Amino acid sequence: MDRRRAVSMARLAGAYARHLARQAATRRQPRQDGVSAFLHLYGRDRITPLSEQDRSELPAHGLCVACGLCTFAAGRAGYLRADRLPSQLSRTLPELWTSRDLPYDEVDWAAGAEACPMGVPLPPMREFVRRRLEADGVAPPAPQVPPAVLPLTGPYGAG
């Protein structure tokens, strides 16, 4: 066997042994629950897990083709129109808190759903938005902490 090949094989064996040792060490540590790890990473940005009910309803939210017939049937309340519920308000869940002051109860969601040629379930979508606002909260998210600014020292800084 060539000397270079033998050295390469020894290095490979050492790297694999370190990998196995690290893997065995992490198995001994208790694993964090997946949902709590997810909430720890993404909860501050209001990216929260969906319930089974929400997950089963979401495919129907995408049926809207933005024809606008629901708006004629359901009317509008200021900015809020029936066609905005599937096209805007249930798309970006982390920013849903910004719609907290909209007059949801002044729109006739059932009449809009009845006029919809695609069968978009507007009343269940309204409940979905209500549940998400209750779960995630309606207050603005905490401001992001800017990274610490390190003082410049040495030949390029004032220090």
For residue 9, being part of any structural domain is answered with: no
pLDDT value at position 87? 80
User: Is 151 inside a domain boundary?
Assistant: no
Neighbour-count burial of 132, counting CB atoms closer than 10 A to its CB (0-12 exposed, 13-18 middle, 19+ buried): buried
Q: What local confidence, expressed as pLDDT, does residue 134 receive? A: 87
Task: Kindly state whether residue 90 falls inside one of the protein's structural domains.
Answer: yes
What pLDDT does residue 151 have? Answer: 55
Number of Cβ within 10 Å of residue 133's Cβ equals 15
pLDDT of residue 135: 83
Output the tens digit of pLDDT for each of the chain's 159 residues.
699 999 999 999 999 999 999 888 877 766 678 888 888 888 777 888 888 988 898 888 888 898 989 999 998 888 888 888 888 877 677 888 888 888 988 999 999 999 999 999 999 999 998 988 888 877 777 666 655 555 555 555 554
On whether the pTM is more than 0.85, the answer is no
User: Is residue 79 a contact partner of residue 46, using CB atoms and an 8 Å limit?
Assistant: no
Query: How many domains, in total, are found in the chain?
Result: 1
* CATH code of the domain in which 124 resides: 1.10.1060.10
**Domain range for residue 124?**
46-136
Has residue 27 been placed in a domain? no
Q: Which two structure tokens, joined as six digits, stand for 118?
A: 């695609």
- The tokens describing 69, both together, are 């017939």
Let me know if residue 104 belongs to a domain: yes
47-138-39 Cα angle (round to 5)? 25
* 71-76 contact pairs (CB < 8 A, 24+): 71/112, 72/115, 73/108, 73/111, 73/112, 73/114, 73/115, 74/107, 74/108, 74/109, 74/111, 74/112, 74/115, 74/122, 75/107, 75/108, 76/107
